[in-house]
Chains A and B, each alone.
Chain A
């Protein structure tokens, strides 16, 4: 190999990781540009952009939780049910007249405990695959949510409880108009995603989560307590679903039996579109965010253009397949023959 070849080679090698990391953002930017040209007056308006963020707010929490689980080569089908159960518990506690700071913390604890239940079930009961445990709890948690609430909606929360999902940060002091506010949920998404980006990329536990997904035997041989890490991951996933419940409570001002129905599939779709691999060990927090945004923008854009929700389903499904196919091509391209 001559030196020119080597230069080309090293540049090529250097570019691959960037493409792997940021390729999905490129897709997101393209979508935004296309939508802007299709709906130039509305799509990038303050009102619509904040709307997109409000719409994706609770889904983004579920997707982030499911993402960590997928990195371990696992799956969590119960996040929608965890969110519903946490929401119902929140509603019941709120109706019982508990002070707001108790009400706000209940879904977080409930979600965490549900996740812990999943994690302990998978490790202690030695389930052959997390699919089975979380498929079971998908029914168990939603059933429990209906049992404790009688299957009827419970509405009416105080402003403090609704703050994260419904709150507005006034920006008139910046010279903006009253309608140009910042949704609290947007700020919350940013904070939570930054915290989990740091957790996954900078901490030892985060590194071990990736190692378990890459090769669980290597992790075990390295002295990592794989089961303990798995329990932590499923618990965090439940906790994030609990945050989702708190946001949803704010947005809808109600606990209702159909909350989060099928949202586990949306969460999985966002992870896959964002480049997480079902075989584990691969994917980034930034990618999941892009995946959530792509799904949010697609729904929003199609709504703006009055496309029926049936077509939305078809399109989202197609994007999943397409995104993974692009990923397959990219991996072919990235593999050195």
Chain B
């Protein structure tokens, strides 16, 4: 486990242009081990663009990313995954026709190689899946259950399990509770809390103040592509954060 409060990821003066549009301008962001940062902002404030820069989908037009103190250039999502930076997409990015275990390891399956052919090690996938789900206290009937048979909350749990299966250090979640039934929201928030306890840095993008105030330690607001405000959660209130989203201090 990384020592508490170790700085994991830092974005310095990240700027991103799309043609003549400035999506992000000199945005700074820091995330420490075991910490949860909430990122809020109105539609078009640049939240998703920032996350896509952090996950390597977009290259910043200016500015830099630093991981554990070293500057890194991310060429693709694979690069960020190799650093231990994982993304949980809003549309979950799961294949419903495949079982839970095969989704968790999709693209990174343990295999036995026979020349050119790579044979899946189903036994290992099942063992690793059960151990990993157990560690995160995610309850499903069986690791062999197909994802399409799961509820929205269970799917979100699988997506989070997928993002943490390879020793992730930072997990970025885009609207993790947006598509969930109310009773399932609590389970996902519990999961985020247990991730924090294992030393993972979690970035949560959310519109829901309830979520931000349930799991986050710090909250930052983006407004029109810039850092608008930032605060420890204990020093702010819902009303103030809602004000930031609308551009009022």
Contact = CB atoms under 8 A, between A and B. Distances in A.
Interface string B83-99: 00001010111111110
Given A202-B119, A207-B102, A219 B149 contact: no
Nearest to A335: B149
B95 A210 contact: yes
Interface string B14-58: 000000000000000000000000000000000000000000000
B106 A281 contact: no
A253 to B, nearest CB: 36
Given A217-B93, A218-B106, A223 B120 contact: no
Interface string A197-238: 000001111011011011101110111100000000000000
A132 B91 CA distance: 29
Interface in A306-334: none
Contacts of A221: 77, 87, 89, 93
Given A13-B141, A218-B106, A219-B106, A204 B95 contact: no
Nearest to B151: A336
Contacts of B109: 204, 207
A35 B130 CA distance: 48
Nearest to B103: A218
Interface string B50-94: 000000000000000000000000000110010000010101111
B111 interface: yes
B120 A204 contact: yes
B146 to A, nearest CB: 9
Nearest to A216: B95
B67 to A, nearest CB: 19
B120 A203 contact: yes
B77 A223 contact: yes
B117 interface: yes
B108 A223 contact: yes
A214 B95 CA distance: 5
A3 interface: no
A281 B95 contact: yes
Contact of B97 (A13, A202, A210, A223): A210
Contacts of A218: 92-95, 103, 106
Contacts of A282: 97
A281 B89 CA distance: 21
The number of chain B residues touching the other chain, given as a range, is 20 to 34
Contact of A202 (B78, B102, B108, B120): B120
A214 B97 contact: yes
Contacts of B78: 223
Given A203-B117, A218-B94, A10 B141 contact: yes
B81 A204 contact: no
B120 A211 contact: no
Contacts of A219: 95, 106-107
Most chain B CB atoms below 10 A, which of A13, A215, A336: A215
A103 to B, nearest CB: 27
B137 interface: no
Nearest to A280: B97
Given A217-B91, A281-B95, A222 B107 contact: yes
Contacts of B95: 210-211, 214-215, 218-219, 281
A207 B149 CA distance: 19
A73 to B, nearest CB: 11
Contacts of B93: 215, 217-218, 221-222
A205 B141 contact: no
Interface string A81-98: 000000000000000000
Most chain A CB atoms below 10 A, which of B89, B93, B106: B106
Nearest to B162: A222
Contacts of A211: 95, 98, 102, 106
A205 B108 CA distance: 12
Contacts of A207: 98, 102, 106, 109, 120
Contacts of A10: 141
A140 to B, nearest CB: 31
Contacts of B208: none
B118 interface: yes
A92 to B, nearest CB: 32
26 contacts: A13-B145, A203-B117, A203-B118, A203-B119, A204-B109, A204-B111, A204-B118, A204-B120, A207-B106, A208-B107, A210-B95, A210-B98, A213-B97, A214-B96, A215-B95, A215-B96, A217-B91, A217-B93, A218-B103, A219-B107, A221-B77, A221-B93, A222-B106, A222-B107, A223-B108, A224-B107
Interface of A: 10, 13, 202-205, 207-208, 210-211, 213-215, 217-219, 221-224, 281-282, 336
Interface of B: 77-78, 81, 87, 89, 91-98, 102-103, 106-109, 111, 117-120, 141, 145, 149
Given A210-B98, A218-B103, 15 more contacts: A203-B117, A204-B118, A204-B119, A211-B102, A211-B106, A214-B96, A215-B95, A217-B91, A218-B106, A219-B95, A219-B106, A219-B107, A221-B93, A281-B95, A336-B149
Name the 10 nearest CB pairs between A and B, nearest first. Answer: A222-B107, A214-B95, A281-B97, A214-B97, A221-B93, A204-B118, A218-B93, A222-B106, A215-B95, A223-B107
